[in-house]
Structure 1
Amino acid sequence: MSTTLADRPADPGLPRPRRRPPRPSLLPLLAVAAVIATLVSAWSIDFNVLTLFDGLDEMGALIERMLPPRLDDPGRIGMLAVETLLMAVLGTVLAAAASVPLAFLAARNTTPHPAVYAVARAFITFCRAMPDLLFAVLFVRALGIGVLPGILALALHSIGMLGKLFADAIEQTDAGPREAVRSAGAGYFREMLNAVVPQVVPAWVGTFVYRIDINLRMSVVLGFVGAGGIGFALQDALRGLIYPRALGIVLVILVIIAAMELVAIWVRRILLTPTQTDPRRDRIARFVFSAILIAGTVAALIVLKVNPLSLITWVGPALEVLTRMIPPDFDALGAQLFDAALQTIAIGVVSTAIGVVLSIPFGILAARNVTPHPAVYWVARSWILLVRAVPELILAVVFVAALGLGPIAGTCALAIASIGFLAKLVADSVEEIDPGPMEAVRSVGGGWWATLFSAVIPQAMPAMVGSTLYMLDVNVRTSTILGIVGAGGIGYLLFESIRTLNFTAAGAIVLVIFVVVYAIERVSGWIRSRLV
């Protein structure tokens, strides 16, 4: 899953926190706590290395059944791929349109009243804490099968990221231009438009482009719950045990996501790296990007056959389903509900630990300023891109088919996704370190290993700690929905409750998911504030 990578700490154009050296007294305590939590979590879900080795034969047999890949209906798959891309674009555009006014209300320096600030921040937090696939499940039940529930799910969850980062960018603006505009007698709206917006547009653009990338990854699996996109064809192939067709669809998904990531990198580079010698090129680039975005939005409405009025009228049916969940019935599932919630947390903890251990070597080799050879750099970067291109839910489906139902499949899926994501963050953080200490070590004859341990890792450690805590937050959030495909956690109970129309039990599950995700987010955020 996306990685909802909602608060991604290292991306061009996104607001970056000030880096401070980690507090040494807290790092050992955090390391010990992490080891204990990982061991307890692994024990609670019966996760061990021997289990994985025992499943290698099944994994090999599954791969053999998938080969050679094939596309039985290229035209239909191609249309579904276009549908998936347009869903991501339209969902992100809707989220951005809602997030801009919301961000002004949720920024301390522009909100009209503290009460308005609290409500706006609470709504943003709610959207971020609720997984997008969970939104999709609820909207499918309210609106029926189709692309509209998927678009709305992507839009609502995206508000959690865009609203937060848009507001953070506003809070970091210089107060000088606002005071100058205000002194000229301008009102509130003129002050915001002339003094604040020009300062935040670069950060907003970077965040928006990155969110399209995230939403494309998520939209490919929305079809698993009937919310449109190419995921529906994949789910159909897997349900029918037609593995060669499933692999063919997965390869199409890989190509789409990899191409989109490369395009996103190029767009961010063009839009967020102004040239000093050719300002006209910058204006043309922004104009072209705006024109493409408008054309893509119109095309999405036409191709997906979305009535613009349906983007407003969905509120009534959705509220009808939500009100049927009140009051939540915690007795219907009893202890099973809280056991599933603990299993969800355990899956997130173990998968994050595996991701941390295995991502650091790949991340270092993928850092341009540290890698021992350019060929190693490109191999490492290509491998990271390949791993990141596979959504977690698809990995979970594969591991369930190979290892069977249960939390081990979900843990393996999230661990692999964590390796790709964390390795990229590690590589980015290493490339941003001060080259001075590295040159000092080399000047006294230090080799590659000495430079790595003496000058590279100490500087990159704060960013690594922050990325790890963020990854834990993301993995716990994602693990809440892996149960939809039988990969453990609380998602299975939710899916079954909605499928059987037991809405009061579903309400209890949704509330538990929100509390778990919000608590993990707050704890990891507090630790990051103390260490990074």
Structure 2
Amino acid sequence: ALLVPAALAGFACWAFADLRINAATLVDSASNAADFIRRTVPLDFPSPAEVLRLCGQTMAVVVCATLLSVLLSVPLAVLAAGNTTPHATARFTARGVVVLARAVPDVVLAIVFFRVFGLGALAGVLAMGLHSVGMVGKMYADSIEQIDEGPRTAVRATGAGRLQQLVSGVMPQVLPSLVANALHRLDINLRISVVLGFVGVNGLGFEIARSLNALDYRRGMALAVVVLTLCVLVELLSGAIRRALLRDADAGGRTRRRGGAVSRTSAVLMSVPAPMKPKDAGAAGDATSTNRSVPPRVAPPWTPRRVRRTAYAVVTVPALAASVWGAGLAPGQFFGALGNLGPTLGLFWPPSTGGILPDLLSDLFDTVEIAFAATLIGAVLALPVGALAARNVAPSPATAAVFRGVVVLVRGVPELVLAIVFVVITGLGAVAGALALGVGAVGLLGKLVADSLEEVDPGVEAAVRATGAGRWQVFCAATLPQAAPAFVGHVLYQLDVNIRSATLLGIVGAGGIGFDLLNASRVLDFGVVTTVLLLVFATVLVVELLAVWLRRVVR
């Protein structure tokens, strides 16, 4: 288990050197960077009305895609969770559907749906929505498997059926997690919409692609700033809602008594009245007659928690309706073109190499090199940034807040925009892709590192601090060793993400097998597209199996 991460780190260092990512390369590109800045500044923003129109169009597609993923993921998660599935076959089938949705890139789905449904928002909604099921369905299934079985058992004891148990005993517990994961996916889909804009999905991404293809960098980068601002706003808003939901769930998941907290199960059982003894029957009758004039309370009080939840519902329903209307989705367009789906999928089978199998394998290796080099860059940069963003490590709360802001800002920049900038500066090729993914990894990996450092056992830190150790000694001897296994898992997850992202960055000339994928789709050689997908899927599967094995061994 120690040799495998060491070998992966060694390969990452070799890839970093083989791609010639060094100071000399950056110095040689300094003149290109200066020229790019001159061609970009001043930024050429569209009119406020046009900006609002593009933002509304983009958000409508993103919200509809996220809503579609949630609607599809909830039943899949119920079937995939071990404690709610009706049969083992249903569980494995649902898990297989989730894995398949995660394996097919959203760009490929968009290409398929464009051929079936034509240009427009519908193809983008279906592509992002179906691809999102891979992540959302998995997270929902994991949340259902981690519920407290007490409420469900209490509901079953009343004679409730399977559906009633699910509605009354399971869904109320996982609802905060479902909403939080949906908001997180909304944030991710907003970045993905920029990528899909390069294959025809309307919105900010499409306008950025059109501007950059015309070498209008002032307008393209101005729109990229709009995307960055929108991503940061959505990140801050969804983060605030997620924190509020978790706080509400924590408050609603415990019933306080004078003697302390009790579990949900105990609360349910305490609410059942005890049987009356015969000798108390008369007294009970007197009490009943005395209190008969007082009507029983049938509605819960309007606590701040209930007010917040009601406000969320009141705001969410009109927002979803406005998004469906703004995206221009028409049921007739969907059902009218659905008959073309079968013939279109038939174009992708059987796979073919197009006589360029050696080139495909070489480009696949380049993609793996880009992913490893980018992961190394991201890990080296994310560790100090994440440490300074952790409240228990940063020298002051202000420092932690500043670096949390840096992480949010970096996460707000789509990797495709970074790839375009580095392609212009360093030229076409793998260097641009590795630098773009490396910088972009700081956003996700830095957040994961900060969260892992904040979740360590404070008792170990206090014990080391009690010996007279300084801040650095506490960090190196107590904090970092506890978070190291999680850090390894996060790096492997980032490697998985980078392999997928490196495939897509080839669309803008950032090297790797993505360029072959785009060319094959443009010349309608869909058999080669399938071959590329199978090669990438096999590579990602190897990394995933390796990560699962390492996590099990580290535990």
TM-score, length basis structure 2? 0.86
Partner Cα separation in structure 2 for residue 34 and residue 198 of structure 1: 43
**Alignment partner for residue 110 of structure 1, among 84, 89, 92?**
84
Corresponding residue number in structure 1 for 2:56: 82
Greater mean alpha carbon deviation, residues 267-276 or residues 415-424? 267-276
CA offset digits 1:132-156 (Å, max 9, x no partner): 2332233223322221111111101
The reply to whether residue 456 of structure 1 matches residue 471 of structure 2 is: no
The reply to whether residue 434 of structure 1 matches residue 457 of structure 2 is: yes
Q: Spell out the pairing of 1:415-434 with structure 2 (5 A cutoff).
A: 415-434=438-457
Give SS of 1:368's match. coil
Check the 8 A contact 1:410/1:482 in 2, yes or no: yes
- Structure 1 position 44, deviation (Å): 5.2
Check the 8 A contact 2:151/2:169 in 1, yes or no: yes
Q: Which amino acid letter does the alignment assign opposite residue 443 of structure 2?
A: G
Give SS of 2:456's match. coil
Give SS of 1:71's match. coil
Greater mean alpha carbon deviation, residues 177-186 or residues 376-385? 177-186
Q: Spell out the pairing of 1:175-194 with structure 2 (5 A cutoff).
A: 175-194=149-168
RMSD over equivalenced CA pairs, Å: 2.1
Q: Which amino acid letter does the alignment assign opposite residue 182 of structure 1?
A: R
Change (3 A) 1:312 1:170: farther
Give SS of 2:85's match. coil
Partner Cα separation in structure 1 for residue 472 and residue 409 of structure 2: 27
Corresponding residue number in structure 2 for 1:404: 427
**Alignment partner for residue 328 of structure 1, among 348, 351, 354?**
351
- Structure 1 position 331, deviation (Å): 4.4
**Alignment partner for residue 93 of structure 1, among 57, 61, 67?**
67
Greater mean alpha carbon deviation, residues 132-141 or residues 92-101? 132-141
Corresponding residue number in structure 2 for 1:4: none
Check the 8 A contact 1:86/1:296 in 2, yes or no: no
Q: Which amino acid letter does the alignment assign opposite residue 220 of structure 2?
A: A
Check the 8 A contact 1:271/1:282 in 2, yes or no: no
Check the 8 A contact 1:480/1:490 in 2, yes or no: yes
Name which structure has the greater RCO, CA cutoff 8 Å, separation 6+. Answer: 1
Check the 8 A contact 1:343/1:488 in 2, yes or no: yes
The reply to whether residue 490 of structure 1 matches residue 464 of structure 2 is: no
Q: Which amino acid letter does the alignment assign opposite residue 317 of structure 1?
A: N
Sequence identity percentage: 40
Partner Cα separation in structure 1 for residue 375 and residue 335 of structure 2: 39
- Structure 1 position 461, deviation (Å): 1.3
CA offset digits 1:486-512 (Å, max 9, x no partner): 111111111111111112222222222
Change (3 A) 1:162 1:279: farther
CA offset digits 1:97-148 (Å, max 9, x no partner): 1111111111122222222222111110011122223322332233222211
Change (3 A) 1:162 1:363: same
Give SS of 2:444's match. helix
Corresponding residue number in structure 2 for 1:223: 197
- Structure 1 position 264, deviation (Å): 0.7
Partner Cα separation in structure 1 for residue 344 and residue 538 of structure 2: 20
- Structure 1 position 48, deviation (Å): 4.2
Corresponding residue number in structure 2 for 1:508: 531
Give SS of 2:361's match. helix
Check the 8 A contact 2:70/2:136 in 1, yes or no: yes
Partner Cα separation in structure 2 for residue 348 and residue 524 of structure 1: 15
**Alignment partner for residue 247 of structure 2, among 253, 273, 281?**
273
- Structure 1 position 318, deviation (Å): 3.6
Partner Cα separation in structure 2 for residue 303 and residue 497 of structure 1: 33
Change (3 A) 1:141 1:483: farther
Greater mean alpha carbon deviation, residues 176-185 or residues 148-157? 176-185
**Alignment partner for residue 256 of structure 1, among 230, 233, 240?**
230
CA offset digits 1:349-400 (Å, max 9, x no partner): 1100111011111111111222113342233222222211100111111111
- Structure 1 position 45, deviation (Å): 4.1
Change (3 A) 1:235 1:490: same
Give SS of 1:273's match. helix
Q: Which amino acid letter does the alignment assign opposite residue 363 of structure 1?
A: G
Give SS of 1:221's match. helix
Q: Which amino acid letter does the alignment assign opposite residue 103 of structure 1?
A: A
Q: Which amino acid letter does the alignment assign opposite residue 487 of structure 2?
A: M
The reply to whether residue 212 of structure 1 matches residue 186 of structure 2 is: yes
**Alignment partner for residue 142 of structure 2, among 168, 180, 183?**
168
Corresponding residue number in structure 2 for 1:241: 215
Partner Cα separation in structure 1 for residue 302 and residue 33 of structure 2: 54
**Bigger-Rg structure (1/2):** 2
The reply to whether residue 130 of structure 1 matches residue 153 of structure 2 is: no
Q: Which amino acid letter does the alignment assign opposite residue 408 of structure 1?
A: V
**Alignment partner for residue 387 of structure 1, among 410, 415, 433?**
410
Greater mean alpha carbon deviation, residues 48-57 or residues 140-149? 48-57
Greater mean alpha carbon deviation, residues 196-205 or residues 516-525? 516-525
- Structure 1 position 315, deviation (Å): 4.3
Q: Which amino acid letter does the alignment assign opposite residue 85 of structure 1?
A: M
**Alignment partner for residue 308 of structure 2, among 276, 279, 285?**
285
The reply to whether residue 232 of structure 1 matches residue 206 of structure 2 is: yes
- Structure 1 position 441, deviation (Å): 3.2
Check the 8 A contact 2:56/2:326 in 1, yes or no: no
Check the 8 A contact 1:45/1:343 in 2, yes or no: no
Q: Spell out the pairing of 1:456-475 with structure 2 (5 A cutoff).
A: 456-475=479-498
Change (3 A) 1:97 1:241: same
Give SS of 1:293's match. helix
Give SS of 2:52's match. helix
Partner Cα separation in structure 2 for residue 187 and residue 236 of structure 1: 55
Partner Cα separation in structure 1 for residue 19 and residue 332 of structure 2: 47
Check the 8 A contact 2:62/2:193 in 1, yes or no: yes
CA offset digits 1:163-212 (Å, max 9, x no partner): 11111112222333334433433322122222221222222122112111
- Structure 1 position 299, deviation (Å): 0.6
Partner Cα separation in structure 2 for residue 394 and residue 521 of structure 1: 27
Partner Cα separation in structure 1 for residue 53 and residue 61 of structure 2: 12
- Structure 1 position 474, deviation (Å): 0.8
**Alignment partner for residue 149 of structure 1, among 96, 99, 123?**
123
- Structure 1 position 159, deviation (Å): 0.5
- Structure 1 position 73, deviation (Å): 3.7
The reply to whether residue 35 of structure 1 matches residue 13 of structure 2 is: no
Partner Cα separation in structure 2 for residue 411 and residue 419 of structure 1: 13
Change (3 A) 1:176 1:436: closer
Partner Cα separation in structure 2 for residue 407 and residue 316 of structure 1: 40
Check the 8 A contact 2:55/2:203 in 1, yes or no: yes
Change (3 A) 1:50 1:134: farther
CA offset digits 1:41-74 (Å, max 9, x no partner): 3355454443233223312321222112121443
Check the 8 A contact 1:328/1:507 in 2, yes or no: yes
Check the 8 A contact 1:462/1:531 in 2, yes or no: yes
**Alignment partner for residue 401 of structure 2, among 355, 374, 378?**
378
Partner Cα separation in structure 1 for residue 372 and residue 476 of structure 2: 27
**Alignment partner for residue 66 of structure 1, among 40, 44, 60?**
40
Greater mean alpha carbon deviation, residues 41-50 or residues 130-139? 41-50
Q: Which amino acid letter does the alignment assign opposite residue 168 of structure 1?
A: D
Greater mean alpha carbon deviation, residues 362-371 or residues 183-192? 183-192
Give SS of 1:327's match. coil
